[in-house]
Amino acid sequence: MTDLSPDVVLSVENLSIDFTLRTHILHAVQNVNFQLKRGKTLCLVGESGSGKSVTARTLLQIVDKPGRIVDGSILLRNGTKVTDITKLAPTGAAMRAIRGKRIGLIFQEPMSSLSPVHTIGSQIIEAIRLHSDLDKKAARARMVELLSQVEIPDPDTMADRYTFEFSGGMRQRAMIAMALASNPDILIADEPTTALDVTTQAEILDLIKRLQVERGMAMLLITHDMGVVAEVADEVAVMRFGRVVETGAVDKIFHDAEHSYTRQLLASTVKLTSHVKAADSTAALSANAPEPVLSVRNVSKVFGWNNGAKALRAVDNASFDLYPGENLGIVGESGSGKTTLGRLILRITEPTEGKVVYRREPGSEVDVTRLDKHGLRAFHRDARLVFQDPFASLNPRMTVKEVIGDPLIVNGLAKGKALEERVAELMRLVGLDPLGMERYPHAFSGGQRQRICIARALALDPKIIIADEATAALDVSIRSQILDLLLDLRQRLNLSFIFISHDISVVRYFCDRVAVMHKGRIVELGEAEQICTAPKEAYTKSLISAVPNPDPRDKRLMHRHRFVAPAIEPAHV
């Protein structure tokens, strides 16, 4: 067991981990093998529940209670000797000497991974002094140096701030500085950019990759995003339901995958890098019917006191048209105002100014912002919303039949036998078996729940569907299925979509035209292909170029556009 080849720093052999739960034993990890090599990055990729995070945490023996190692070994090179981590006591001194000192760890949620009541600096200093005998002063100097290495401006001042005073990207930088505090030779990054915006993601990936190369560390990067894999990996291990189904060099995985699951995962990802061509082009449709079904004009929303010093213009003077049969994408990073804009159109949130004109039939016009309660209810029958979180948007105490049937009942459209038939029809329409009608939502998976939500939206024969991040909570393979379902429904039911998303690839695949939002404003609006391939505005360029490309032969992040926000923040009045 002592003969690791010279470039291998850590070797995982036949690792199996079980979780003994109340009702059953979950074999979270089964017979997993991989090796981490000096100066190389191994990406552990898989969808939710594949066991990739548990595997990573086991390397440090910090898996929470019901989980335990049942088989296998984790061999760590220790100078000329080799230590088996699984043999060490989890709370013993030997294990603690490995944590932080030999293996550093970065998490997904930088906000909750850092203590909210200690300053950033003190948390890093603690990590430094734990594995060295530097005095307080020297440790502080080292901490400041680390913060400047992770490109935190004015590190001496920022060190005395708390996490809640940092932005998401800055927090993750601080987290990286902490992981590097004792110069570990292995870095584990567990979904380090998942909680971040795409432009921030690009910067953090850049930083991690650069630090890794400079320091010659071995890195284990855990992700669900094949794009990220293509950008940073040297080698890839694909996990599914606790097993590694395929391992190999990154180029081989992307261009010559053997396992069907790998190919399927890749296909779902790659599919989203292109734009779907609808059979009867919407361009033709909109040419025939030039009058938009929905016109948004100069809509703004100010939170806080009107025009006060702290007032925030969440949406600033937004205007666009939605044509019948069109898919319009609204894309932007967190805080860009895209979700608020969607809610303003439906008046879940009341707009501060501007108007929304809805044309049910050509020639008839209603100003949604002036509708009374009754008129608004009629509008809500025609314009429906699909939420992001399929778990929160379904009442857990109502059966699927009650959920889908509720809009029909309250609008007095069907009851009794007719209601049941209509619900069954809707369920078939979204690809669900009507036999599941009497079940409660908790019995369904995320993708199935989102189908239920879509069925509910369709129940009233709407004209417009506003989908707010409707696929963001889903795994990539499920995501493309839901998108295809929506495309199919648009064809069959002649719907128009407003598709709100932070995910450029989803928007590119699904939408005909795209509006790009930044700090409350629509900065660019145009054909999806044009926005995604030849953007005009500087912000859009930086956004598009920050999207990882799922092809290791064409790494986009290396030569991306950087956008520097104007000094005057337009979002604040």
Partner 1 sequence: MNANDQITLSPTASNIDGPAISPLKKGATVSTAAIGPWRLIYGKLIRQKVAMLAGAIILFLYFIALFAEFLAPALPATSKPQYTYAPPQGISLFTTKPDGSSEFQLHVKGYKVEIDKIALRRSFVVDENKIIPIGLFVKGPAYKLWGLIPMDRHLIGPYNLNDPMYLLGTDRLGRDVFSRLVYGTRVSMSIGLIGVAVSLVLGVVIGSISGFYGGWVDTAIQRVIEIISAMPTIPLWLGLAAAIPLTWSPVNVYLVITVIVSLLGWTSLAREVRGRFLSLRGEDFVTAAKLDGSSEMRLIFRHILPSLTSHILAVVTLAVPTMIVAETSLSFLGIGLKPPVVSWGVLLQDAQNIRTVATAPWLLIWPSLAVVLAVLSFNFFGDGLRDAADPYDN
Partner 2 sequence: MLGYIGKRLLYMIPTLFGMSLISFMIIQLPPGDYLTSMIATMSESGQAVDPAQIQRLKEIYGFDDPFYIQYLKWMWGIVSRGDFGWSFEWNQPVSGLIWNRMGSTLVISLLSLIFVWAVALPIGIYSAVRRGSFGDHVFTFLGFIGLAVPNFILALTLMYVAYRYLGQSVGGLNSPEYAEAPWSLAKLGDFMMHLWIPIIIIGASGTAAMIRILRANLTDELHKPYVITARAKGLPEYKVILKYPVRIALNPFVSAIGWVLPHLVSGVTIIAIVLNLPTAGPLLFRALVSQDMYLAGSFILLLSALTLVGVLLSDLLLALLDPRIRFN
In the set 178, 253, 299, 345, which binds partner 2 (CB under 8 A)?
Answer: 178
Residue given tokens 């040297």 in the structure block: 234
Residue given tokens 């898919």 in the structure block: 327
Closest contact distance (angstroms) between CB of 163 and partner 2 is 9
Q: Does 96 bind partner 2 (CB under 8 A)?
A: yes
Helix (H) or strand (E) holding 539: helix 538-545
Q: Does 91 bind partner 2 (CB under 8 A)?
A: yes
Q: Look at the chain and count its residues.
A: 573
From partner 1, partner 2, none, interface partner of 396 (C-beta below 5 to 8 A by class): partner 1
Closest contact distance (angstroms) between CB of 312 and partner 2 is 16
CA dist 258 → 32, 234, 247, 266 (Å): 18, 18, 10, 12
Closest contact distance (angstroms) between CB of 479 and partner 1 is 11
From partner 1, partner 2, none, interface partner of 516 (C-beta below 5 to 8 A by class): none
Task: Specify the stretch interacting with partner 2 by CB under 8 A; choose among 10-18, 100-108, 509-517, 531-539.
Answer: 100-108
Closest contact distance (angstroms) between CB of 70 and partner 1 is 12
From partner 2, partner 1, none, interface partner of 553 (C-beta below 5 to 8 A by class): none
- Burial class from Cβ neighbours inside 10 Å (0-12, 13-18, 19+) for residue 181 reads buried
Instruction: Dig out the tokens for 10 from the structure.
Output: 């850590």
Closest contact distance (angstroms) between CB of 435 and partner 1 is 7
127/403 with CB nearer partner 2:
127
Question: What gap in Å lies between CA 237 and CA 55, rounded to an integer?
Answer: 12
413/538 with CB nearer partner 1:
413
From partner 2, partner 1, none, interface partner of 562 (C-beta below 5 to 8 A by class): none
167/274 with CB nearer partner 2:
167
Question: What gap in Å lies between CA 481 and CA 478, rounded to an integer?
Answer: 5
Q: Does 194 bind partner 2 (CB under 8 A)?
A: no
In the set 17, 19, 83, 107, which binds partner 2 (CB under 8 A)?
Answer: 107
Closest contact distance (angstroms) between CB of 543 and partner 1 is 27
Instruction: Dig out the tokens for 241 from the structure.
Output: 């339901």
From partner 1, partner 2, none, interface partner of 78 (C-beta below 5 to 8 A by class): none
Q: Does 120 bind partner 2 (CB under 8 A)?
A: no
21/117 with CB nearer partner 2:
117
In the set 130, 276, 487, 538, which binds partner 2 (CB under 8 A)?
Answer: 130
Nearest to 407 by CA among 392, 416, 425, 419: 419
Residue given tokens 């990286």 in the structure block: 176
Helix (H) or strand (E) holding 332: strand 327-332
Three-state DSSP state, 99: strand
Question: What gap in Å lies between CA 212 and CA 234, rounded to an integer?
Answer: 12
Nearest to 456 by CA among 415, 426, 494, 486: 426
Partnered with residue 332 across adjacent β-strands are 517
114/403 with CB nearer partner 1:
403
Instruction: Dig out the tokens for 434 from the structure.
Output: 């009507």
50/542 with CB nearer partner 1:
50
The 10 Å CB-count burial string (b at 16+, else e) for 101-129 is bbbbbbbbebeebbeeeebbbebbbbbbb
Closest contact distance (angstroms) between CB of 193 and partner 2 is 16
Instruction: Dig out the tokens for 502 from the structure.
Output: 């932070």
Alpha helices in 59-167 (DSSP H): 93-98, 110-113, 120-130, 136-149, 155-158
Nearest to 487 by CA among 477, 476, 496: 496
From partner 1, partner 2, none, interface partner of 35 (C-beta below 5 to 8 A by class): none
23/306 with CB nearer partner 1:
23
From partner 2, partner 1, none, interface partner of 519 (C-beta below 5 to 8 A by class): none
Could you tell me the strand order of the sheet in which 218-223 lies?
103-106, 186-190, 218-223, 41-45, 235-240, 243-249
CB 155 within 8 A of CB 147: yes
Nearest to 278 by CA among 551, 530, 528: 528
In the set 29, 42, 60, 196, which binds partner 2 (CB under 8 A)?
Answer: 60
Closest contact distance (angstroms) between CB of 161 and partner 2 is 9
Closest contact distance (angstroms) between CB of 351 and partner 1 is 17
Backbone angles phi, psi at 244, to 5 degrees: -85, 115
From partner 2, partner 1, none, interface partner of 377 (C-beta below 5 to 8 A by class): partner 1
Question: What gap in Å lies between CA 177 and CA 556, rounded to an integer?
Answer: 26
Using CB under 8 A as the criterion, which residues of the chain lie in contact with partner 1 when the complex forms?
A: 20, 23-28, 30, 49, 241-242, 261, 264, 346, 348, 377, 380-381, 384-385, 387, 389, 392-397, 399, 406-407, 410-411, 431-433, 435-436, 438-440, 442-445, 447-448, 451, 453, 456, 460, 477-478, 481
Task: List residues binding partner 2 (CB under 8 A).
Answer: 57, 60, 62, 64, 91, 96-101, 104-105, 107, 109, 112-117, 126-127, 130-131, 162, 164-165, 175, 178, 181
